[in-house]
């Protein structure tokens, strides 16, 4: 059974690829940055807020925000066959 965080990641990936021709999200770095913004951007104030909407924890890493929780959820989705990731870390959805 997938937890709420994993389901929110799957939903975000699905929405990101919905209007793309080849159903590609992009790479891990892009996915992390998008999930960070979904988690911490307040559309009302148009500012970043410390308390996240999805409750993912992020750290500052080499290429920007990184969440071990997002990475763990991505690995779970890959194991369940719901998303694919190429050797170049390009993420696609399988349905």
pLDDT in tens, 62-71: 889 999 999 9
Q: Got the DSSP string for 2-69? A: --HHHHHHHHHHHHHHTT-TT-EEE-HHHHHHHHHHHHHEETTTTEE-SS-SS----EEETTEEE-HH
Query: CB within 8 A of 95, min separation 6: which ones?
Result: 82
Which tokens in the block code for residue 41?
């951007």
At 89, is the pLDDT very low, low, confident or very high (cuts 50, 70, 90)?
low
More confident residue, 55 or 77: 77
Q: What pTM, to 2 d.p., does this model score?
A: 0.85
Query: How far apart, in whole angstroms, are the C-alpha atoms of residue 57 and residue 63?
Result: 16
pLDDT digits (tens, 9 = 90+) for 9-49: 999 888 888 877 777 888 889 899 999 999 999 888 999 98
Q: Count of alpha carbons within 13 Å of 33, Cβ hemisphere only?
A: 9
Higher pLDDT, 94 or 4: 4
Angle CA(45)–CA(50)–CA(51) in degrees, nearest 5? 95
């Amino acid at each position: 059974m997938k937890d709420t965080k994993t389901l929110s990641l799957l939903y975000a990936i699905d929405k990101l690829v919905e209007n793309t021709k080849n159903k590609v999200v992009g790479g891990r770095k892009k996915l992390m940055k998008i999930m960070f913004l979904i988690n911490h951007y307040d559309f009302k104030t148009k500012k970043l807020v410390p308390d996240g909407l999805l409750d993912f924890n992020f750290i500052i890493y080499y290429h920007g925000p990184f969440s071990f929780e997002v990475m763990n959820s991505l690995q779970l989705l890959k194991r369940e066959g719901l998303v694919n990731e190429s050797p170049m870390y390009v993420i696609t959805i399988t349905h």
